């Protein structure tokens, strides 16, 4: 819908051409909603104008709000008459049977209903002659806020590209970026408005748990602590309530509705109060006004005492820190991004990321937009993408380069300390004492840099020259299971074996997600995937056990939707561990075909652990009891129900019932064996 | 020494030039030993002729029989006077200190002694004037025996290349080999005669255990069972004795002394009788006559009943089968080749090998010589080499290609069976019943092929057209630890995970051997290697545990010198297992710096297991008790003694005593932990 405000949608039409707009407006509402320029063009050029509510039909036929291409395709054939209507519909239905036959009769039926409804759902709009005489005023140019480099990039590259005019850009526009660097935080300037429904906060039912923010894949919904002064200056209508435990502050939940994808994960996660949720999903245009609240909250000063009071390493406290991954291009309901976002909230201000090509490179940087961003101090993750097959090595190289540079600086600092006194000596001492802790060392480095500025020593100058490399960095390697279990595994193993301080996060969707669902070694028995169309015959590889065999590698399996606390604990321990760490995060994906929909992706994680399909644990080489099985005794009776809830499993039974029973049983038995093995540890 | 018979060694000298011959002959013996053409050239061209016994000096100074380059270098400077003698010697000694200082004072002293002795050890030969009038008769051309393709290759490529005249070959000489294929068994035509001392058999002390043959890295010493008729026709002087358990045969041990490298491993392995060994090492020229016995034994018919009686899967029985890897270019005492040779004795007649670049590609095919050979039926391993980084994938591809082809043939066979009767039906039935067992299926296929020849069916013709692909093959992947633990590990893991019937043999030297000793993830703590000059700080990767984590992978660790029976058992079980198998074979290497010398490489394997440095075990997914720890409770008190016996460990103490103590202790503790872990399994 938002497209009519963003793109020139009718201007390419010839006189008497046909325009079909997918929207939820009635014919009467169009008068108010359509931009003046569009209305005038339609009237001036005698456009045949139709509307259709594809989303409504999608929901009614069971296709869902996002799978409306079938509906619109059917409407297209009806309107264009390229193929005779009856024939077109029959061909489309045949195709649907062929494509979705394997996924079950209900899926085929939904598609056929959608095809029928698409052809009948179009409504002809009688264009009022008054539209001819509309006065079109020039649109006021968009104001872009941000640093000079961001403004330049957004204006010169991002806006033209997003307006589909990228191919008109001259090469000279890219000269500034020819080393491959682009500014952080540009995704915030997209404001795509792609959601059909967005969350609206009802303060009366809110217990201030911050779960909604914790689970949001796109970082669009956030808690905010405001002073009374800030509340006074807030846009009118902004809701606040007394903040629990900190009476000097007011609390609010704000949403960047124009960045929201409308998955509803926040709403599902909301515990609410007395059975009533604090979050309700409403149509985007009914909540457009709330964008202003978010924008206001977003420029308020971060409250150090709030983060201090609630502790950043708790579920609640972590959400008062700005996510340094926001408004990415991830799918609605993505299971990967909540993990990545959390990592940036904890360590983003001092973080290097080496990213394996795959989904995490798509949501991590879908050109021309960068969702990794900076905090108010101008600090954020340094992110770079590598080839699928050598990302672990790439991250290892980043770490080695930094640590080599830094070691030489530490030597200089040590020498300088023997020649210093007073504040500088104290600062150097603190810097050296904290050198292995990325959080404390960042504070110590800031202080040291200030002191160095007052020194006339050549050594101080050497340190200042390379001040970006002084502080301890949090080195991360991100990638999916296709990378970690398969193609990049040789390198991943090598980095784990190195015994260097480096952290690896695996977003385990159990399938090659970005390339459309090929089987990986993380794919469990019985799962249907490309290259395993008859159900995978070989069990899921036990990456955690392999990593644990080294003895000196921190290893954890987490599932945020099952246990947010355990996830945050594991991530924090991994980063603190002065050696290699591997975190394997269970991440639901659109490729799973979760029958309840991706809005329930976090609930699916919960079910996966409760039924014993996934287990959460931590292996900490520094702990007295190295191994902790965090997830509770599973109820394996729920196992088959869980499998039946996902098309990747349920579809096999339609093709080959007997085989499906055998493989599902195999899958279950492998999980039971795995659980018993973990319990024995 | 043998070089004087093989190469034109003096013909490039100018009149009055200088020639130094390294030999163990006295001046008087030269008259008899030197070829006529050489004597005449020396006399005709007034060559200044010197001799030196480098090997003797090497042994006397402790450098050993093979490290004589230092001695000859010193002699070279003395004779040429390029640098003033005193200065040259002092510079050489300085270089020795610099190069070997890290390896201990004794090593430096040996080198310095060798330098002194080289300069003083030369003996001037007064060339008799009679040499001028010697008549040189044309040498009779060498007769090459073998198949047409072998004879052609040896004559047209191998001999010129080995005579250092390869660069004179025209491109057209290689046209036949442009697809990369060269004939098997050409190494047998090299007869390099490089050994200083070779084994000679004393039948009186022999208990017919065949250990000498089992451990020989170059397959030069072999048992032979002979009929009385064969004994009667044997070359005169050939020793035989009554064969134990089979009175119809005589037993002999024969040696291809011209292919021997003189390591003495056979002699060390010989248990002998009443404290007297049955094998004695004597100078090559004193045993040259025994080559004839070997050559004779080599053309005798293989005795099926002997192999039947002693069972090929026993240490003794396996050695009555022709090694299909013989006379390779491996180092004297190599720890790798005895394993590979044994595999060829067991499965070589039906074996595909994918080989990872590294030592196993050097001894596996050092151009222009191929040590892989064929048995009397013309069957031998099909060997191909791949890049270091993708050999597992390469072998997997070989297997998939063969099995895809074969599956289609099996379908044809099944169809043909429904239409057949009589012998053909029986043969087809047997073929299909044995399809998963490479040994029985080979026999069944031979029989089937004969029957198919009598059939007029089109289906029979289809099968005959592709008869090479009918029988089940034994698919192997060979490589070293640099490949398996490091660079090729991603692929190795993928192949193991595949659950296909494929066998992987890792020659674990714990270091990159072929490239000169770089540290790999198989290198244990404290070991000195390139890139770990200060002793490796991180423990050896546990490849076996990683493989066992799959549950469906056959995994074994073996050490032939500790337990020949366990090694042969593991190899046989691995091949029989209808799934992926991984064998990790402990292989001493010249890079270890075994102080006792490479002649004791098998004894070093024994010590390694006895002290707990290495463990032997088998994990068989098909067995009731999956895991069997084969090696006995080790005596960890012997651990430090073992480490001290190898320069890779002992050299660290010379550079950094404290660190060496810490790392050796770490190494030991890691082995103890590993043993306890295995015991718990």
Q: Do B498 and A538 touch (CB under 8 A)?
A: yes
Query: Which secondary-structure segment (H or E) carries A95?
Result: helix A85-100
A579 interface with B at CB cutoff 8 Å: no
Q: Do B493 and A488 touch (CB under 8 A)?
A: no
A498 interface with B at CB cutoff 8 Å: yes
Average pLDDT over residues A26-46: 92
Q: How far is the alpha carbon of A302 from chain B, nearest alpha carbon, in Å?
A: 43
Q: Which pLDDT belongs to residue A235? A: 97
Whether B385 shows a pLDDT value over 90: the answer reads yes
The two beta strands, B617-619 and B627-629, are: antiparallel
CA distance A41 to A15: 10
Q: Which residue of A has its CA nearest to B489?
A: A490
Q: Which pLDDT belongs to residue B1? A: 59
Whether B165 shows a pLDDT value over 90: the answer reads no
Best mutation target among B481, B486, B489, B490 (most A Cβ atoms within 10 Å) is B490
Q: Do B537 and A487 touch (CB under 8 A)?
A: no
Q: Which one is predicted more confidently, A391 or A28?
A: A391
B619 interface with A at CB cutoff 8 Å: no
Size of interface A-B (CB pairs under 8 A): 57
Peptide bond into B517 cis (omega under 30): no
Query: How confident is the model over B586-614, as pLDDT tens digits?
Result: 999 999 999 999 999 999 999 999 999 99
Q: What are phi and psi of A320, to 5 degrees?
A: -85, -5
Which of the 8 DSSP states describes residue B259? T
Q: Which residue of B has its CA nearest to A536?
A: B498
Q: Which pLDDT belongs to residue B163? A: 86
Single out the residue of A642, A646, A644 nearest to residue A613, CA to CA.
A642
Q: Which residue of A has its CA nearest to B494?
A: A486
Q: Do A493 and B490 touch (CB under 8 A)?
A: yes
A537 interface with B at CB cutoff 8 Å: yes
CA distance A638 to B657: 60
CA distance A519 to A522: 8
CA distance A542 to A489: 12
Q: Which pLDDT belongs to residue B244? A: 96
Best mutation target among A550, A582, A621, A667 (most B Cβ atoms within 10 Å) is A550
Best mutation target among A356, A551, A621 (most B Cβ atoms within 10 Å) is A551
Buried b (16+ CB within 10 A) or exposed e, A157-186: bbbbbbeeeeeeeeeeeeeeeeeeebbbbb
Radius of gyration of chain B from its Cα atoms, rounded to whole angstroms: 27
Whether A2 shows a pLDDT value over 80: the answer reads no
* Nearest residue, CB atoms, A546 vs list B490, B549, B551: B549
Tokens linked to B406? 């074969």
Q: Do B494 and A489 touch (CB under 8 A)?
A: yes
Average pLDDT over residues B552-562: 98
Task: Tell me the chain B residues in contact with residue A501 when contact means C-beta distances shorter than 8 Å.
Answer: none
Cβ atoms B5, B258 nearer than 8 A: no
The two beta strands, B221-226 and B123-125, are: unpaired
Which of the 8 DSSP states describes residue A331? P
A610 interface with B at CB cutoff 8 Å: no
What are the distances in angstroms from CA B298 to CA A424, B222, B380?
84, 9, 16
B497 interface with A at CB cutoff 8 Å: yes
* Nearest residue, CB atoms, A549 vs list B491, B493, B546: B546
What is the 3-state secondary structure of A372-386? ECCCCCCCCCEEEEE
Q: Do A551 and B541 touch (CB under 8 A)?
A: no
Tokens linked to B609? 């297991």
CA angle A139, A144, A149 (to 5 degrees): 140
Torsion-angle region of residue A183: left (phi > 0), alpha (psi -120 to 50) or beta? beta
Q: Which pLDDT belongs to residue A7? A: 81
CA distance A53 to B267: 90
* Nearest residue, CB atoms, A494 vs list B486, B497, B673: B486
Q: Do A489 and B493 touch (CB under 8 A)?
A: yes
* Nearest residue, CB atoms, B497 vs list A499, A521, A551: A521
Whether B139 shows a pLDDT value over 80: the answer reads no
* Nearest residue, CB atoms, B549 vs list A487, A497, A545: A545
Query: How confident is the model over A638-661, as pLDDT tens digits?
Result: 999 999 999 999 999 988 999 999
Task: Tell me the chain B residues in contact with residue A538 when contact means C-beta distances shorter than 8 Å.
Answer: 497-499, 552
B285 interface with A at CB cutoff 8 Å: no
Q: What are phi and psi of A454, to 5 degrees?
A: -90, 0
CA distance A93 to A76: 15
Query: How confident is the model over B202-244, as pLDDT tens digits?
Result: 999 999 999 999 999 999 999 999 999 999 999 999 999 999 9
CA B64 to chain centre: 21
Q: Which pLDDT belongs to residue A248? A: 96
Q: Which one is predicted more confidently, B130 or A140?
A: B130
Single out the residue of A93, A20, A18 nearest to residue A54, CA to CA.
A20
Average pLDDT over residues B386-397: 94
Cβ atoms A561, A215 nearer than 8 A: yes
Tokens linked to B228? 């009385």
CA distance A574 to A556: 8
Mention every residue, 6+ apart, whose C-beta is less than 8 A from residue B218. B259, B260, B261, B326, B327, B328, B330, B337
Average pLDDT over residues A6-11: 85
- What is the sign of the dihedral through the CA atoms of A295, A298, A299 and A301? positive
Confidence of residue B282 (pLDDT cuts 50, 70, 90): very high
Q: Do B493 and A490 touch (CB under 8 A)?
A: yes
CA distance A506 to A368: 25
B669 interface with A at CB cutoff 8 Å: no
What is the 3-state secondary structure of B187-216? HHHCCCCCCCEEEEECHHHCCCCCHHHHHC
Single out the residue of B675, B328, B667 nearest to residue B510, CA to CA.
B667
Cβ atoms B267, B599 nearer than 8 A: yes
Q: Do B537 and A499 touch (CB under 8 A)?
A: yes
CA distance A153 to A145: 12
CA distance A505 to B459: 55
Q: Which pLDDT belongs to residue A165? A: 87
Confidence of residue A285 (pLDDT cuts 50, 70, 90): confident
For the packed helices A391-418 and A489-497, what is the interaxial angle rounded to 10 degrees? 30
Task: Tell me the chain A residues in contact with residue B486 when contact means C-beta distances shorter than 8 Å.
Answer: 490, 494
Q: Which pLDDT belongs to residue A75? A: 94
* Nearest residue, CB atoms, A489 vs list B490, B521, B539: B490
CA angle A138, A143, A145 (to 5 degrees): 175
Residue for token pair 């026993």: B314
Tell me the pTM. 0.88
Q: Which residue of A has its CA nearest to B492?
A: A490
Q: What are phi and psi of B325, to 5 degrees?
A: -140, 110
Residue for token pair 């030991």: B668
What are the distances in angstroms from CA A522 to CA A484, A501, B278, B471?
9, 25, 57, 34
Q: Do A499 and B550 touch (CB under 8 A)?
A: no
Single out the residue of A157, A159, A161 nearest to residue A177, CA to CA.
A157
A541 interface with B at CB cutoff 8 Å: yes
Query: How confident is the model over A429-476, as pLDDT tens digits?
Result: 999 999 999 999 999 999 999 999 999 999 999 999 999 999 999 999
Single out the residue of B550, B536, B538, B544 nearest to residue B497, CA to CA.
B550
Q: List B21's β-bridge partners, or say none.
A: B51
Whether B141 shows a pLDDT value over 70: the answer reads no
Q: Do A549 and B545 touch (CB under 8 A)?
A: yes
Tokens linked to B268? 């060390």
Mention every residue, 6+ apart, whose C-beta is less than 8 A from residue B230. B250, B300
ipTM of this complex prediction, to 2 decimal places: 0.84
Q: How far is the alpha carbon of B461 from chain A, nearest alpha carbon, in Å?
A: 33
Q: What are phi and psi of A129, to 5 degrees?
A: -65, -20
Task: Tell me the chain B residues in contact with residue A482 when contact means C-beta distances shorter than 8 Å.
Answer: none
Mean pLDDT, chain B, whole residue set:
94
Single out the residue of B639, B601, B619, B637 nearest to residue B524, CA to CA.
B639
The two beta strands, A197-201 and A351-356, are: unpaired
Confidence of residue A518 (pLDDT cuts 50, 70, 90): very high
CA distance B452 to B461: 8
Q: How far is the alpha carbon of A606 from chain B, nearest alpha carbon, in Å?
A: 26
Cβ atoms B334, B286 nearer than 8 A: no
CA A510 to chain centre: 17
Q: Do B498 and A539 touch (CB under 8 A)?
A: no
Residue for token pair 């649109």: A139
Whether A350 shows a pLDDT value over 90: the answer reads yes
Peptide bond into A368 cis (omega under 30): yes
Q: Which pLDDT belongs to residue B33? A: 87
Query: How confident is the model over A520-538, as pLDDT tens digits?
Result: 999 999 999 988 888 999 9
Query: How confident is the model over A230-246, as pLDDT tens digits?
Result: 999 999 999 999 999 99
Q: Which pLDDT belongs to residue A1? A: 59
B405 interface with A at CB cutoff 8 Å: no
Tokens linked to A55? 């989303």
Whether A65 shows a pLDDT value over 80: the answer reads no
């Amino acid at each position: 819908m938002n497209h009519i405000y963003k793109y020139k949608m009718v201007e390419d039409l010839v006189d008497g051409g046909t325009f079909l707009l997918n929207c939820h407006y009635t014919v009467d509402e169009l008068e108010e909603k359509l931009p003046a320029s569009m209305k005038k063009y339609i009237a001036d050029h005698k456009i045949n104008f139709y509307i259709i509510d594809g989303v409504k039909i999608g929901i009614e036929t069971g296709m869902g709000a996002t799978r409306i291409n079938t509906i619109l395709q059917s409407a297209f054939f009806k309107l264009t008459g390229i193929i005779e209507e009856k024939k077109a519909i029959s061909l489309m239905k045949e195709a649907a049977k062929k494509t979705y036959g394997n996924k079950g009769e209900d899926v085929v039926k939904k598609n056929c209903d959608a095809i029928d409804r698409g052809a009948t759902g179009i409504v002809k709009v009688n264009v009022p002659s008054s539209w001819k005489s509309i006065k079109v005023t020039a649109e006021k140019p968009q104001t872009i806020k941000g640093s000079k480099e961001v403004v330049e990039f957004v204006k010169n590259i991002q806006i033209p590209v997003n307006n589909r005019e990228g191919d008109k850009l001259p090469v000279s526009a890219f000269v500034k970026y020819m080393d491959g660097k682009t500014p952080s935080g540009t995704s915030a300037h997209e404001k795509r408005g792609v959601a059909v429904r967005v969350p609206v906060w009802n303060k009366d039912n809110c217990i201030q748990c911050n779960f909604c923010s914790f689970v949001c894949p796109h970082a669009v919904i956030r808690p905010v602590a405001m002073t009374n002064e800030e509340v006074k200056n807030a846009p009118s209508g902004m809701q606040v309530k007394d903040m629990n435990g900190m009476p000097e502050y007011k609390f609010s939940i704000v949403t960047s509705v124009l960045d929201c994808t409308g998955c509803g994960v926040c709403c599902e996660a909301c515990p609410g109060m007395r059975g009533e949720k604090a979050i309700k999903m409403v149509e985007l245009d009914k909540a457009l006004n709330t964008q202003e609240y978010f924008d206001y909250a977003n420029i308020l000063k971060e409250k150090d005492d709030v983060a201090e009071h609630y502790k950043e390493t708790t579920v609640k406290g972590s959400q008062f820190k700005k996510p340094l991954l926001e408004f990415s291009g991830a799918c609605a309901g993505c299971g990967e991004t909540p993990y990545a976002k959390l990592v940036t909230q904890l360590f983003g201000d001092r973080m290097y990321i080496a990213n394996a090509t795959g989904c995490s490179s798509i949501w991590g940087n879908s050109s021309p937009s960068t969702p990794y961003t900076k905090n108010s101090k101008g600090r954020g993750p340094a992110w770079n993408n590598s080839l699928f097959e050598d990302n672990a090595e790439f991250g290892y190289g980043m770490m080695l380069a930094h640590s080599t540079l830094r070691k030489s600086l530490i030597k200089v600092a040590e020498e300088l300390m023997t020649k210093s006194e007073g504040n500088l000596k104290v600062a150097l001492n603190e810097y050296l004492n904290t050198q292995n802790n990325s959080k404390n060392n960042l504070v110590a480095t800031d202080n040291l840099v200030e002191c160095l500025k007052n020194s006339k020593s050549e050594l101080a100058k050497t340190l200042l020259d390379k001040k970006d490399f002084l502080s301890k960095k949090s080195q991360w390697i991100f990638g999916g299971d296709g990378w970690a279990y398969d193609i990049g595994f040789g390198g991943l193993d090598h980095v784990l074996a190195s015994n260097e301080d480096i952290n690896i996060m695996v977003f385990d969707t159990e399938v090659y997600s970005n390339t459309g669902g090929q089987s990986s070694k993380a794919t469990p028995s019985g799962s249907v995937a490309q290259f395993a169309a008859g159900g995978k015959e070989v069990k899921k590889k036990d990456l955690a056990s392999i990593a644990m065999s080294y003895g000196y590698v921190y290893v954890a399996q987490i599932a945020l939707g099952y246990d947010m606390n355990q996830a945050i604990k594991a991530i924090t321990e991994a980063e603190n561990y002065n050696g290699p760490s591997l975190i394997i995060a269970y991440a639901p994906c659109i490729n799973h075909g979760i029958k309840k929909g991706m809005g329930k992706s976090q609930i699916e994680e919960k079910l996966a652990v409760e039924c014993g399909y996934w287990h959460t644990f931590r292996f900490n080489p520094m702990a007295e009891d190295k191994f902790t099985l965090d997830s509770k005794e599973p109820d394996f009776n729920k196992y088959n129900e869980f499998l039946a809830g996902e098309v990747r499993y349920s579809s096999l039974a339609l093709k080959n019932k007997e085989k499906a029973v055998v493989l599902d049983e195999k899958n279950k038995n492998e999980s039971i064996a795995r659980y018993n093995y973990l319990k024995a540890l």
